[in-house]
Structure 1
Amino acid sequence: MKKKIFTTLTFLLAISYFSAQKLTFTDKNFEKAVIANFDTNRDGAIDQNEADKVVNLFVSNKIQVRSAEDINLFKNVQTVVLDGSIMIGIDLKNLEFLTLFSCEACNLLTFKAENLKSLKSLYLNGNKLTQISLSNTPEINELHLASNTLQNIDVSALKKLIILNLENNQIKKLDVSQNPNLENLDINHNPLNVADVKRGKITTNPAAAIPSSSTMPKKPGNENNN
């Protein structure tokens, strides 16, 4: 009996230790930002318990974050806004609850998202993107990629896509025939015209799905940071 009690206590202590273990960050500026907002026990660090409570993560553009790798430490985060940071590439994986991600005007060259099953809104306007990879992101309904240098993009797997903003890129051909819910498509200022866009049978008026950028819905604000 004593042995069972000892084993149980050891197990509980181990869980407590690992959940309270301080997390290691690769980007010190990012670490400072999250400590300032989410260090609830005021020990000058972020442990797993604190990270797991973060739902909305907004980092001021005054803080020059260089890497988004640390976002993967926040398993329950739903909204992430890193606008104005300076990064070359982003690779996001397995964030089960992430619904909105924004990294606008960050000098990004590449973006990769994998197993973001709840992601609905993705804002990457104003970067230098040449590549974007979206794998197992079935819920995306807003994809904003204006003012990049993309030459091609595959959106065939995004069956729920409603808004696609590709204004001011280098795209010559586009296939949206697998996007039956698409309502807003902006391809202005690309080296292509309506005839270069492959559409599904659902679209009866090709020009109707190409509004000016002024009709594009605005991104939600970042009023809250918790």
Structure 2
Amino acid sequence: MTFDILNSDTGSEPAESYRLHLPAATANDLAGPSVEPSLVYGFGDPDNGFGGGWRLSFTSYDFATRTLRYGREQLVLDIPGEAPELRLTRTGDTLRLMHRSGLVEILSPAEGPETALVSQTHAPSGGSISYTYSDERCLNGIFDDQSSQIMRIEHGSDQVRFVYPQGATDQFTATLTLHDGLLTTATFAPGEDATWSFTYKDGQLATVREPHGYVVVYENGKRASVRLSD
């Protein structure tokens, strides 16, 4: 597995203030589709199972605010509605998000009647993946057409682990540590120096200490500075 790291993602948009890319996973014997999740912090976002403010970058729709989140994008969109590169429709309680690329995402109700979360992704090539959630509506698994699990997310009281099964052996690629409901560290590739640490002020993200020595400082919901650690 490989992973990509985005140093600091902000300044102009306080709604999304920091992003870490997690390892990608490809379904159906590498035929696709692929999932490329990111762990994203948003000021004012609730706890989605990864600590207050943190969420995964998978597609969701908030009926109360008419907000669609997908990938790195966020926009207000009615149902039915169209935006550049996509179209959103509804059949009963199910939403269908069609991308110009041919990718189709199915969103199903979750977190009560106000939110729909992605439940299936269909690639133009014909392959698909499905998403499963816990009773607390936290994502806990992604499966392909062969019912093979390509990603498992284990939620504990003070730790979350992202597991990429490979045959009979599980490869642990990311571990999140939480304290008092807040994400304090994120470690990639155990055994290597790849740990991010996070501090908070009044429950909001205050600093991010990156493994290569930089510290990102936030004030009033925006990035204030980036400096080398002491």
Assess same fold via TM > 0.5: no
TM-score of the two chains, using structure 1 as the length reference:
0.26
Q: Which has the higher contact order (CA 8 A, sep 6+)?
A: 2
Larger proportion of helix: 1
Greater Rg, structure 1 or structure 2? 1
